[in-house]
Structure 1
Amino acid sequence: MSEIDFINSQQVKNAINKLANNIRTERSTVENLLNIYADKSIIDRLNNHNNQIIYGRRGTGKTHLLYAFQRLIFESNNPNASKRFPIYLDLRTYLPLFTSSSSINVESSVLIFQAIINDLIDILINNLKYIYDISEYGGFNSFENSRIEKLKNILGRLNVEFNGREFKRLGSVEFNKEEIKNISGSLKLNTSPEFTVDGKQEQKNNFIETNVQYLSFNEISKLLEDLSLELNDTKIVFLLDEWSEIPLDLQPYLSELIKRVFISSNYTFKVAAIPYRSKFRETIHNDLKIGLEEGGDIFPITLDNRYIYEIDKVGTKNFYNELLINHLKEIDNTLFNNVDEIRFINYFFANQALAEILIASAGIPRDFINLFILSYNNRNNVTQRIILKNIRNSTTEWYTSDKKEEIDKDKTTRHLFEELVNLVILTKKKTHFLLPQKHSDNKFIKKLVDLRVLHLRQKGISHRHIPNKTYDVYSIDYGSYTSLDINKTTLSTDFSELVSNLNTIEDIRETRSLSIEDDFFEKFNLETGQGIKCSKCSKTIDINHLAYIKQKICNNCFEKVED
């Protein structure tokens, strides 16, 4: 069978139609998500006893990575050695616990933390036979030793009853009010949060239930450590997903509770988070720092920018080839009986079309899979490979349905993106641009990166004739300009040329012509109400800059701004 006949066979069509079921991990029908994970070297980087943050934008595979790692832990456990036990928790399930109050306080974070503890206990109880290597149909007779008495004591204090046959939950763990008050006092926080109901301010009361045990944070830390030891010295690995769904200002307080109770114990945390929407540590009153310190308590790894075609053509192609093979093999392994797996992805694409979809995917696996399905199904001539026209039509369709709607929800974000497209794409005729690093902290730039319409390509490059100034390199999303019917062949897309030019161009004015400089943001901030004129230096103050928000300081001259 020829390659063209193969990609147009009914068997391949059926497999690609089923591929849509695996775009989102939480809805996937795949039993073993470790099998279909491409580039397992990133899983190896998780396979340690460090607390780690997995940073990545939407669609980079954070959830898939956690599930794959969970499977790896189960498969690698040795019956003759102490186990690791992974506990996956989707933090979105705790969203109803948040009050409508805008005040941030310890009690709000305690509610979430309390729910995590309760889920930990429930999951461990439901998996005791696995942890103790007892047959599914066996009883608890092997517990007839001193260890069961210790376990009963620990679980009893955590509000769990053992009647000789099974463990039964009596109620929710509650933390001692005085302990919460003490922590609140140490952080100078309000211990009685309020929220509004029908326009009236009401006091939020602690939930109280019969049989609920009241514990201090210090006590529960010791109990959980003892619990791990009595469970055959099991190492508990928390896999916390969707961290960034927790309100940003609340995140450092939850981090602080995790640190106080878990960090020095036999528990490990792997946390999936979105850059720019995560805050694990914060300085509060009198320079008191709370939360998890990156590089000290917890170590970051990133899924962004691993496979960028403009930077690494071969590595990017090989990654997406593996991604496609792994997913389709799981759907129908017989597809690969007579297939050259090394060049499998080439079966589907004309050469130029393959390069274009790898550029358009921008290092986002979810975007690649969606674009692949769309471009395959959008072919007018089903007797040929996917061609450039199919890629352009698919990127426009994907951008309009997945990204443009989100941009349009906020008029300020939309205005900034339109200005960037007009300047970079229409005026400069480029797809990449330089941005002074101080502007990378602009909250609307961060939002456009989060929405995957701007892509950060490289950080911290400099020009030998421009001292004390570093740049980041960004690209504008492929779909945003194909949706405007702009022909890519008229644009300069050479990333390497842009970066190398920064150190070879002698004319500083020419170098700055590649960059989006202060005047662009001054104009944007004044037009959109995001800036005010500084009376000291006459420059425009970015009112979203932390220096202005916290201390009313101009982010240009750093002088105090008078009201």
Structure 2
Amino acid sequence: MAMTSLRQKHLNQALMRIPRRAESTDRRALAATYVMAGSFSAMLHSTDHQILYGRRGTGKTHALLYLADLIERTGDVPVYVDLRTIGSAGGMYPDGSMDLTSRGTHLLVDTLEAVHDELLNLAVEENGREALLPTLDPLAQAASAVQVVGEVERETTAGDKAESSSGIELSARPVVKTSSGWTAHQESRVRRTGVERHHVVFGPLNRALRGIVRALDGARLWLLLDEWSSVPLDLQPLLADLLRRSVLPAAGVTVKIAAIERRSRFSATAPGGDYVGIEVGADAASAVSLDDCMVFDHARTRSQEFFGQLLHNHTTSRLAGMAALAPADVPTFLEETFRRNAFAELVRAAEGVPRDAINIVALAAQHAHSEPIGLPHVRLAARDWYLRDKQTAIVDDEPARQTLRLLVDEVVGRRRSRTFLIDQLTEEESVNALYDARLLHVLRRGLADKRHPGTLYDGFAIDFGCYVSLLLNGELSVPPKDKGSWLSSARGVPPDGFNLAAEIVDLSQLR
């Protein structure tokens, strides 16, 4: 019994030590713990330019770093850039008083300088890549070219000065001799004033990138841009347009961009019907959504298979030096770690978000200590994670907090459910904020009402942690119905899992 308890304690401690963020983990370890969701990995490894959508915690960074490791193994060259680290967060980018074009161009230059630095490290540290060194200077010159623009102000001053000598005087300044012995010194000074701006010439920049590709001797250059949504929204179309004109046309270069769908703006309409930015589906071949990949339609067991493999991979990695304690396979791991129904409840609480699953299971393992994780542990952990992380994410956003209160009162309180529908055309920033904070989850997109086929709805669910906290606090005498959710439905999620007549929510009317 003591040995069993000790083994369980080590398993729970391994769950508590799972890294919460991919960027803080070694790339090889990330590759070893990565779990493919359906055909997502194959789509991601295509050479097409792609935009990778996903909310925070769905694994965008993990996917890009896994792809970088895979690219290295195949002989290609990955360049990973975290856009949060470009420039200064408190500097010019969010400064709305500065010229938009200047801010966008500075951002492109900073991004290209980051690419230059990564390639320089590769050329210096990796054998066989020395040919890159001569090609990096043209990239640096094209990316950081500066010109002074503005009016040139010419100032001329003149003055008289008594001279005791006579004859011709040589001077750096023009001198005029007078008959009285005085000399007039005329001094001319030119002062140039202007605004210093980065001036990007797309031709040299594109040629520099082609030179880099040639130096790679057949290897492909993969530019992986992470945290796109950290760039101010008004700058995103400009950065996208500059990438479209300089980087995307270069043969032998593939660009992957990780972004939050409702926090991204890749194009803007320009005068004359043209556009500025990247046209998704044309300039970037496709957009892949991790949010959609993590919703396992019509196959409830697939979600459990994914999260079971994910936790098993991480636990095995944590117990690498204790082979006798590491479970041999996923079924053995789940049987030893969770009591009956507890793992299914964990998958339900995760709402398809791997980071939430990792945090909830760590809290549940902490509650369980040296015992297998049970259903009460998972529910307590889901409530704690909701209160500690998700709810605090909107503590300073009064519109989002007010919208969540209205939805909980209406959907959970009055309708005894947790699913609802909102018109796709509804412009609600508070809904976007709740979606970003994983307090609302999209279960279905583009549901049509047969009576009004021109109107499309998105189907949402209120977060599991939100209403389980109400249940644990005794504020709900009857559990909410969950008929529209992929998380608990015995049949999976049927396409018509929402009652269009009963579940549409009009936020303007609620207010």
TM-score normalized by structure 2? 0.80
Determine the structure 1 residue equivalent to 2:436. Answer: 450
The Cα shift of 1:312 comes to 3.2
Correspondence for 1:534: none
1:130–1:28 CA distance, 2 compared to 1 (3 A): closer
Instruction: Give me the identity figure in percent.
Output: 27
2: CA distance, partners of 1:434 / 1:112: 39
CA contact under 8 A between 1:462 and 1:469: conserved in structure 2? Answer: yes
Q: Does the C-alpha gap of structure 1 residues 413 and 244 become closer, same or farther in structure 2, counting only changes over 3 Å?
A: same
RMSD: 3.2
Aligned residue type for 2:106: L
Partner of 2:462: 476
Q: Residue type matched to 2:238 in 1?
A: Y
The 3 A distance-change label for structure 1 pair 254 and 12 is: same
In structure 2, how many angstroms separate the alpha carbons of the residues matched to 1:256 and 1:18? 42
Structure 2 counterpart of 1:76, one-letter code: T
Residue 51 of structure 2 aligns to a residue in which SS?
strand
Indicate yes or no: 2:23 matched with 1:15. Answer: no
Q: Secondary structure at the match of 1:9?
A: helix
Structure 1 partner of 2:258: 272
* Aligned counterpart for 1:98 among listed residues 78, 88, 92: 92
Aligned length: 453
Structure label with greater radius of gyration = 2
Give 1:363 shift: 0.4
Alignment deviations for residues 371-402 of structure 1 (CA, whole Å, 9 cap, x no partner): 0010111137x44x322221221111101111
Residue 291 of structure 1: how far off its partner (Å): 0.5
In the other structure, the counterpart of 1:206 is 196
Residue of structure 1 aligned with 2:81, choices 89, 104, 118: 89
* Alignment map for 1:78-477 (pairs within 5 Å): 84-96=76-88, 98-99=92-93, 100-102=95-97, 105-128=100-123, 133=128, 152=134, 154-158=135-139, 173-175=143-145, 177=147, 205-206=195-196, 216-265=201-250, 266-298=252-284, 299-308=286-295, 312-333=299-320, 334=323, 339-379=328-368, 382-383=370-371, 385-439=372-426, 441-477=427-463
CA contact (8 A) 2:484 2:497 kept: no
Stretch of structure 1 that moved more, 277-286 or 385-394: 385-394
| Structure 1 pair 523–66 and aligned structure 2 pair: CA distance change class (3 A) | same
Deviations 1:299-320 (A, max 9, x none): 2101104334785320000000
Q: 1:431 to 1:104 in 2, by over 3 A?
A: farther
Q: What is the distance in 2 between the residues matched to 1:488 and 1:251? A: 48
Mapped pair 1:73 → 2:71: yes
Q: Which has the higher contact order (CA 8 A, sep 6+)?
A: 2
Q: Distance in 2 between matches of 1:404 and 1:355?
A: 24
Equivalent residue letter for 1:347 = E
Contact 1:310 1:494 (C-alpha < 8 Å) held by counterparts? no
Shift of 1:15: 2.1
What is the alpha-carbon distance in structure 2 between the residues aligned to residue 504 and residue 370 of structure 1? 30
1:226-261 Cα shifts (integer Å, max 9, x gaps): 232133244211111110000001100000000111
Q: 1:322 to 1:204 in 2, by over 3 A?
A: farther
Task: Kindly provide the CA deviation profile for residues 252-295 of structure 1, in whole angstroms up to 9, marking residues without a partner as x.
Answer: 00000001111111321111101110011110333330101100
Q: Which residue of 2 aligns with 1:555?
A: none
1:417-442 alpha-carbon deviations (Å, 9 max, x no partner)? 10000000011000111222222x42
Alignment of 1:12-91 (within 5 A): 12-19=11-18, 22-28=19-25, 31-39=28-36, 41-77=39-75, 84-91=76-83
Q: Partner letter of residue 269 of structure 2?
A: T
Deviations 1:117-164 (A, max 9, x none): 222223223322677627xxxxx7xx7xxxx9xx74x5444458xxxx
Query: What is the CA–CA distance in structure 1 between the aligned matches of 2:33 and 2:41, rounded to whole Å?
Result: 12
Q: Which amino acid aligns with 1:428?
A: R
Rounded Cα–Cα distance in structure 2 between residues aligned with 1:504 and 1:362: 18
1:198 — aligned with what?
Answer: none
Whether the 8 Å contact between 2:148 and 2:197 is mirrored in structure 1 is no
**Structure 1 residues 488 and 108: alpha-carbon distance in aligned structure 2, compared to 1, 3 A threshold:** farther
Contact 2:80 2:224 in 1 (8 A): yes
Amino acid in the other structure paired with 1:248: L
| 5+ long unaligned stretches in structure 1 | 78-83, 135-139, 161-171, 180-202, 209-213, 506-510, 525-563
- Structure 1 segment 539-554 matched on structure 2, within 5 A: none
Give the letter aligned to residue 221 of structure 1.
Answer: N
Q: Which amino acid aligns with 1:329?
A: T
What code does the residue aligned with 1:117 have? L
How far apart, CA to CA, are the structure 1 residues paired with 2:419 and 2:84? Answer: 35
CA distance in 1, matches of 2:324, 2:297: 31
In the TM superposition, what is the alpha-carbon distance from 1:328 to its structure 2 partner?
1.2
Structure 2: segments with no counterpart, 5+ residues:
150-192
Q: Is the 8 A contact 2:105 2:239 kept in 1?
A: yes
Distance change >3 Å, CA 295–CA 8, structure 1 → 2: same
CA separation of 1:204/1:17 partners in 2, compared to 1, >3 Å: closer, same or farther?
Answer: farther
- Return the alpha-carbon distance in structure 2 between the equivalents of residues 418 and 220 of structure 1: 52
State the TM-score, normalizing by the size of structure 1: 0.73
The answer on whether the counterparts of 2:418 and 2:482 sit within 8 Å (CA) in structure 1 is yes
Q: Is the 8 A contact 2:15 2:362 kept in 1?
A: yes
